[in-house]
Amino acid sequence: MSIQRYGKWDFRAVDSESAARALTRLKEQGAPAEPERAAAVVLLREAPLRVFLLRHAAKEPFGLPSVGRADQPAITVRERWAHLDIDGYQTSGPKGARYGFPGGRHKPDDPDVAMTGVRAVEEETGALVALQRAWARWVTPEFEPVRFDSWIYVATLAEGFQPRIRVREPEYATWIGPEQAVCQYGGQMSMPEATTLAELSRYSTVGEVFAAAEQRDMSPILPRVDFEGAGARLVMPGEEGYPADAFAAA
């Protein structure tokens, strides 16, 4: 399941008061918003293993959390799970910069969510996907006003294609090692993206990643907030302290 920390980044800590307010709003709302389908694609190459990373001046992180540093106070729920331009919030980091992968919302013309990822890669980079495997499936917590059921895929490019910045939104792109990416930019990524990079850092080749993908549990990961112990922390399904329902701590 999702890691707790990686290097200087604490993936789980949230501000207790902010978390309590978010859950209270959910209780007053009465029911969570229905999540939209979305996809993100981690493009891979070797040797050594590298991932294609984009930097966006303002990128919607599929409603998923940005991580906080272990040596700093816990950040608020809104900061961890923020959507751009929702409730006036702007992303952290230089000029609101965020790092991540090609991806986006599912569109009516997409045959399935896997093809959403393929389409997003072509739109954002001009490249075609050759092989693709599902890696993880994350669902935005119930207290967010806009939610996503987001599939993360790992993929290789069709022969002869090199990704490039094709649309206006990404301002920078690079091939980088998974470990270096999460260590250097983890604080400006969504939690699922940073977690994916931390997981990929265990592998040396594309073949190893694809073999691991075949064994992945694709059950949805729906984080919730646990108030037990010191402060509030995000917990995942199957972990100790995972609330039985969204309103348990509200």
pLDDT tens-digit profile of 60-69?
444 333 344 4
* Euclidean distance between CA atoms 23 and 143, whole angstroms: 6
User: At residue 6, does pLDDT exceed 50?
Assistant: yes
Higher pLDDT, 161 or 134: 134
What is the rounded average pLDDT for all residues in the chain? 80
Domains recognised in the chain with CATH numbers = 32-218 (3.90.79.10)
For residues 197 and 178, the answer to whether their CB atoms sit within 8 Å is yes
Give residue 145's pLDDT: 82
- For tokens 């981690």, name the residue: 42
CA distances from 163 to 39, 41, 126, 127, 160 (A): 18, 12, 6, 5, 10
159 alpha carbon, distance to own chain's centre: 28
Please provide residue 64's backbone torsions phi and psi, each rounded to the nearest 5 degrees: -115, 165
For residues 30 and 22, the answer to whether their CB atoms sit within 8 Å is no
Cβ-based neighbours of 1, under 8 Å, separated by 6 or more: 221, 236, 237, 238, 239
Cβ-based neighbours of 241, under 8 Å, separated by 6 or more: 226, 228, 229, 233, 235
Give residue 169's pLDDT: 58
Q: Is the pTM of this model over 0.85?
A: no
CA distances from 188 to 49, 81, 97, 99 (A): 22, 12, 7, 6
* pLDDT tens digits for range 87-137: 323 333 444 578 899 999 999 999 999 999 999 999 888 899 999 999 999
Bridge partner residues of 68 (DSSP): 10
